[in-house]
């Protein structure tokens, strides 16, 4: 029988907890028994709603504003969460720049590239280094889960996919090298979502939406809860002999 609370007594930091995948991870972690710290950059209303839902499940929730492009901001949040919770058992680098909705789609190609490299790649690297540093000093070590993209393994046509491939592919490669560097006290793994029904998926043209579902072996778009389940598994004792691994959550589009 599977443990109904695999993260009982543990703490988790989730960057970008305001909505979508980050919100899904927060709720799944709380349901698995973890207390969570959520970060946000601009959507305070959304992150407060996520925190309230976590507390309704019966777990503690902290909220911190963090700028992933600012190393001092990352350090301050990490030290603050560690001080409040006493430790950080898992750190999930979920937050990323939006280049497809909310005005991000209007940026030039070079501005999109600079934003993705600054926030997604550099931010993930700095946050991972900080998390690994804190976890190495803990008696039980810790787990880092970085969010990549399933199509970095195969490529996808288009300008935005080229940009995502550069940033998310680098996150995957970095995570594998980090996993070797911080083992055995800290485990580092990657979750690579595919077509997930977040704000982008909900707003996409219905013809495109149906075409994506039809071309997916499991015949549907993924949900944030699908990604969250993989993250909770990797953060749990059930994955204690996994490091440097990638779990694609894409319904079989990339195998």
Q: What is the pLDDT of residue 203?
A: 77
Which uninterrupted H or E stretch holds 129?
helix 123-136
At 26, which CATH number?
3.40.50.720
CA distances from 131 to 30, 173, 243 (A): 20, 18, 15
| Cα dihedral 44, 52, 14, 193 sign | negative
Examine the residue annotation and report whether 164 is marked as an active-site residue of this protein.
yes
Q: Is residue 207 part of a domain?
A: no
Owning domain of residue 121: 11-197+224-245
Q: Is residue 236 part of a domain?
A: yes
User: Which of these, 149, 28, 41, lies nearest to 95 by C-alpha position?
Assistant: 41
Q: Is residue 216 part of a domain?
A: no
Q: Angle at Cα 189 formed by Cα 174 and Cα 161, nearest 5°?
A: 60
User: Which of these, 198, 173, 8, 2, lies nearest to 90 by C-alpha position?
Assistant: 8
How many domains would you assign to the chain?
A: 1
Sheet order of strands, 11-14 included = 61-65, 35-40, 11-14, 90-93, 142-147, 186-193, 246-249
Q: Is residue 179 part of a domain?
A: yes
Q: What is the pLDDT of residue 26?
A: 98
What residues pair up with 62 in beta bridges, in sequence order? 37
Q: What is the pLDDT of residue 2?
A: 59
DSSP 3-state assignment of 47? Answer: helix
- What is d(CA 173, CA 217) in angstroms, rounded to the nearest whole number? 27
- The catalytic residue among 40, 91, 164, 174 is 164
- For the record, the structure tokens of 131 come out as 């998390």
CA–chain centroid gap for 3, Å, is: 23
Low pLDDT (below 70) residues in the chain? 1-2
Mind listing the pLDDT tens digit for each residue in 151-186?
999 999 999 999 999 999 999 999 999 999 999 999
Q: Is residue 230 part of a domain?
A: yes
Q: Is residue 43 part of a domain?
A: yes
Q: Is residue 56 part of a domain?
A: yes
Cis peptide before 82 (omega within 30 of 0): no
Q: Is residue 69 part of a domain?
A: yes
Mind listing the pLDDT tens digit for each residue in 216-230?
999 999 999 999 999
Q: What is the pLDDT of residue 216?
A: 98
Contact 162, 207 (CB under 8 A): no
């Amino acid at each position: 029988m599977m443990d109904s609370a695999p993260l009982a007594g543990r703490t988790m930091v989730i960057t970008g907890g305001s909505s979508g995948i980050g919100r899904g991870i927060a709720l799944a972690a709380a349901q698995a028994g973890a207390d969570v710290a959520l970060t946000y950059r601009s959507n305070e209303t959304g992150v407060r709603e996520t925190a309230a839902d976590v507390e309704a499940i019966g777990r503690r929730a902290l909220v911190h504003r963090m700028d992933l492009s600012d190393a001092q901001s990352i350090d301050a949040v990490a030290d603050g969460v560690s001080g409040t919770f006493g430790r950080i058992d898992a750190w999930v680098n979920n937050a990323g720049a939006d280049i497809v909705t909310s005005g991000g789609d209007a940026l030039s190609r070079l501005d999109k590239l600079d934003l993705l490299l600054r926030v997604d790649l550099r931010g993930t690297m700095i946050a991972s280094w900080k998390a690994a540093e804190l976890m190495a000093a803990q008696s039980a070590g810790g787990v880092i889960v970085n969010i990549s993209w399933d199509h970095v393994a195969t490529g996808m046509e288009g300008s935005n996919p080229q940009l995502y491939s550069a940033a998310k592919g680098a996150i995957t490669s970095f995570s594998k090298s980090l996993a070797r560097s911080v083992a055995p006290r800290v485990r580092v793994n990657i979750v690579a979502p595919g077509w997930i029904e977040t704000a982008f998926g909900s707003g996409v043209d219905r013809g495109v939406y149906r075409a994506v579902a039809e071309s997916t072996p499991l015949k549907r778009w993924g949900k944030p809860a699908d990604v969250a389940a993989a993250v909770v598994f990797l953060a749990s004792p059930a994955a204690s002999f996994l490091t440097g691994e990638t779990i694609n959550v894409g319904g079989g589009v990339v195998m």
